[in-house]
Every structure is written in C-alpha cells, then in structure tokens.
Amino acid sequence: MYKPVLTIRDFRKLESGTDTWLPSLEKEMELFTTALLGALVLVLFWIFRVKDNSKLPPGPLALPIVGNLPFLDKNAPYKSMMEVSLNFSKTYGPVMTMYLGWQRAVVLVGYDAVKEALVDQGEDFSGRAPVHFLYKATRGYGVGISNGERWRQLRRFTLSTLRDFGMGRKPMDMWIQEESKHMIAHINTLKGKPFDPTFILSKTVSNVICCLVFSERFRSEDTQFLRQLQILNKFIKFNSTPFGQFYSIFPWLMDHLPGPHHTMFAEVDEVRAFNRKKIEEHMKTLDPSSPRDFIDCFLIRMHQKDNPHSEFHFENLWSTVLNLFAAGTETTSSTIRFALSALIKYPDIQKKMQEEIDPVIGQERSPNMDDRKSLPFCDAVIHEVQRFIDLVPFSLPHYALKDITFRGYTIPKVKHVCPVLKLPNMILDKH
C-alpha cells in the first residue's frame, strides 16, 4: 500500500518543532541529488562516447554503462556473444562496433574480414588487448597477454626453446607415447566400468608439458600435482563464467565487491607458490652448460647481462609457465575428450579408423608422427574434430597498435578488436 512521504501529522510536528526527522530527510535528499548528478554525468559521458563513433564501423544500439551486454546469455556469455555477433553481422556487415559494458570493441565476422585483419594487416593488429581477469592473475607478465618488446622477447625465446627440447619432433613423440601407456594402464584398472575421462586426459597432457618445462613427470597420485590441475581447470572455466566475464568488463568495480573471483585469485597464488618451489629447485641444481628444460634455459638467460632491457626475470618466468600449462592442457585435453565422444556416437567412423590403423601400426607398438602420412582417414577425422568442436569461438582480443584504416573505417589506437573464429558460412569440400 502506498505510504505518503509527508503527512498532516508531520507538518504539525514541524510547526511545533517537536520532530527531529528533518535532518534525516535532508541527508536523503543530498544522497538522491548526488546519485542523480552522478547518473547524469555517466549518461552525458556515454552520449559523447557514442557520438565519437563517426569513423568506426556501424553496430547495434548500446545502452549506457551496460552496452550490448543485455543481448548476452549470462549463463553462456562466450557462446551467446558468438551467436549475437553472427546475427548482428547480417544487419551491420562483417565489421561492426559493439559495446561490452564500457569497452568499445570492433568485431570481425567471416573468413575474409578475419584474414584481412590478422594476416594481411597482421602487424597493425598484433597488439594483445588486456583481458583484466587474466591480467590480474598474471600481474600483466608472461607471453600470453603481453605486448611490445616483452612479447617479442618472450615469444621468440619460448618458441625456439620448446623446439630445441623436441616440440613437434621425435623426443615429443617419446613423451607422448610414455604418457599414453600410463593413461591406458590406468583405464585398464577400471575393468570396463563407465568413467569420466576429463581428469585422466588432463593429467596425461599436462605431464607431457611437464617434461618440457620441468624435465619430470608426476605420478597420478601426486596430491600437489593433482591440486595444480584442479586449479588450472577451474581457472580456465571461471574465465567464461558470468563472474569472470563481469570482472573483465568492470574490474574497477569487482575488486571492491565480494564474490568467487577473490577465491580464484587466491588459488592462482597456490600455483604461483608451486612453480616458485620448482624454480628454486632448478636454481640449486642449474648447470649452465647443460640445460635440462625450459626453466633452466630461462634461468640462464636471466643471468646474462648483455641486454639492459631484458624481459628475463622471475615474474615473466612464472607467468609464462602458467601460460604454457593453461593454454596447452585444457585445449588439448578438451579436443581429445570431444573426439572420444564423437567416436562413441559414430561407431562406423571408429571402425574405419581402426581398419586403417591395424595394417600400418598393428598391435605391438605406439603410433608416432611419422605414421601420419600413412593414415589419411585418421588425419582427416582429427581435422574434422578440430573444425567441429568450436573449441575457441573467439580469439583472445587484439588491439590496434596505431590508428588504422580498415575497409574504409578508422579504428583508433588501442581499440579492442574481437575476431569471431566460428565461420558457419564456410563452404567445405564434402570429401
């Protein structure tokens, strides 16, 4: 029932001077006026920000503060962002402007637009936009979300070092074969009972990365190792949850609000402590003339004094190690898990793959990369799984390193650029 703010009795009390609620009313009015002025400032700022879009690509109408977020499904922000972008592209074209909260982003949809930006003008769009959730977790260090000289030094070093230790070559085959044997042995202990392969696959893939980074593998029952995998799995998934996405859009607000993001950052610090322990063990046993793994090579570079602008220090080491595990473990294990699910659903494909494998590999040895050229159908199935899984529908956001002219539009420096990697209109060869 409606209750009036002021009544006749209140006025009588005012006249007699017997009531003390007037100061309270004045405070409420002050708060209301402050909130109203704040809202007006935000709306005016938003209007001027939107009017500044004259040279940007067209896009859907954005609401103040929240932008185009109301169009997204809060329970599946990444998936709905992809679907919304594809739908809007039918109206506004393959290059359009969208607002993710305050963040203004240029969204690229379709093979031609993505290729033109990231390949033909790749140098212009090579900047990595700050994903605030990842930035907070890594403190801005590491190869994953860095830019400029830091990115160039770490990327060049990481690629060359991983290749030196066998990535993509026979030593890598040996590690994969070894971990596969451990995985198969574990599955055999289940004696045909149903099981969730998620954690088993994560352990297998992560141990291959451990061989490159730590020059050791961890036992399946190692509680510290299992804890790191659990945290990394949560970390990857949390980034796509509503809380994770909201943090990346409004970090200045979320830092002061309670929520599971604070617990997540505390758990990431556990991973930092685990890596620090491993790095300290490497420092005690380091032989500069005989590096054993990625960490040894990084420590050797840390001690070189020939580059006063060197990016080789502890923060970049630990964060790059986190980047390698987070990016490598989850993507690879998820792809394998999806492949297993697809083969269960399509047993005829599974049968045809086995018929191709048996005469080439047999039952006595493990497959290796040299077998790939003799297994064209298996190779095609793997490629089709990677196409169909839609593992990463969006690339990590890029940004323009300078003011760029792209397809007749002007994209300002450090403006977010989000390429959609899901391309439903691609015409594929049915063979």
Instruction: Kindly tell me if the per-residue pLDDT of 75 is higher than 90.
Output: no
- pTM of the shown model: 0.78
Helix 260-285 to helix 242-249 angle, to the nearest 10 degrees? Answer: 80
Residue 158 pLDDT level (bands cut at 50, 70, 90)? very high
- Token readout for 347 is 């047993």
Residue with the larger pLDDT of the pair 149 and 415 = 149
**Same domain for 294 and 168:** yes
Q: Which of these, 418, 241, 392, 420, lies nearest to 331 by C-alpha position? A: 392
Residues 172 and 43 placed together within one structural domain of the fold = no
271 CB-near residues (< 8 Å, 6+ apart): 228, 231, 232, 322
Q: Say if 3 falls within a structural domain.
A: no
Last residue of a domain, one of 300, 321, 345: 345
In a shared domain, residues 185 and 332: yes
In a domain, 336, yes or no: yes
pLDDT at 136: 86
Candidate from 48-57, 105-114, 230-239, 362-371 with smallest mean pLDDT? 48-57
Q: What is the pLDDT of residue 354?
A: 94
Do 166 and 293 belong together in one domain? yes
In the chain, the amino acid numbered 264 is: M
- Contacts (Cβ under 8 Å, ≥6 apart) of 297: 157, 161, 164, 291
Tell me whether residue 230 is in a domain. yes
What is the domain range of residue 23? 8-51
341 with 215, same domain: the answer is yes
Same domain (yes/no): 195, 321:
yes
* Residue 107 within a domain: no
Cα–Cα distance, 227 to 235 (Å, whole number)? 12
User: Which residues, 6 or more positions from 272, have their beta carbon under 8 angstroms from its beta carbon?
Assistant: 318, 322
Residue 427 binned pLDDT confidence (cut-offs 50, 70, 90): very low
Instruction: Please tell me whether residue 257 adopts helix, strand or coil conformation.
Output: coil
In whole angstroms, how far apart are CA 230 and each of 63, 86, 261?
38, 34, 16
Among all chains, which residue has been given the structure tokens 């739908």? 87
Q: Which two tokens stand for residue 28?
A: 């409420």
C-alpha 332: how far from chain center: 14
Q: What's the pLDDT at 131?
A: 80
Q: What percent of the chain has pLDDT over 90?
A: 25
Q: pLDDT band at 65, cuts 50/70/90? A: confident
For the segment 189-242, what is each residue's pLDDT rounded down to a tens digit? Answer: 988 899 888 889 999 999 998 888 998 888 888 899 889 888 988 888 887 787
Percent residues over pLDDT 70 in the chain: 82
* The total number of structural domains that make up the chain: 2
63 inside domain: no
Which stretch of 96-110, 281-295, 383-397, 399-413 has the lowest confidence by average pLDDT? 383-397
Question: Amino acid identity, residue 141?
Answer: Y
Residue 75 is assigned to a structural domain of this protein: no
Residues 32 and 175 in one domain: no
Residues 44 and 168 in one domain: no
Calculate the alpha carbon distances from 371 to 204, 325, 427 in Å: 21, 27, 29
Give domain status of residue 429, yes or no. Answer: no
pLDDT of 428 above 50? no
Q: Tell me, what amino acid is at 183? A: M
pLDDT band at 359 (very low <50, low <70, confident <90, very high): very high
Asked which of 307, 328, 345 is the last residue of a domain, the reply is 345
- Amino acid found at 128: R
Q: What value, to the nearest 5°, has the Cα angle with vertex 143 and ends 272 and 215?
A: 60
Q: Are the C-beta atoms of residues 214 and 278 closer than 8 Å to each other?
A: yes
Whether residue 308 lies inside any domain: the answer is yes
Contact (Cβ atoms closer than 8 angstroms) between residue 333 and residue 201: yes
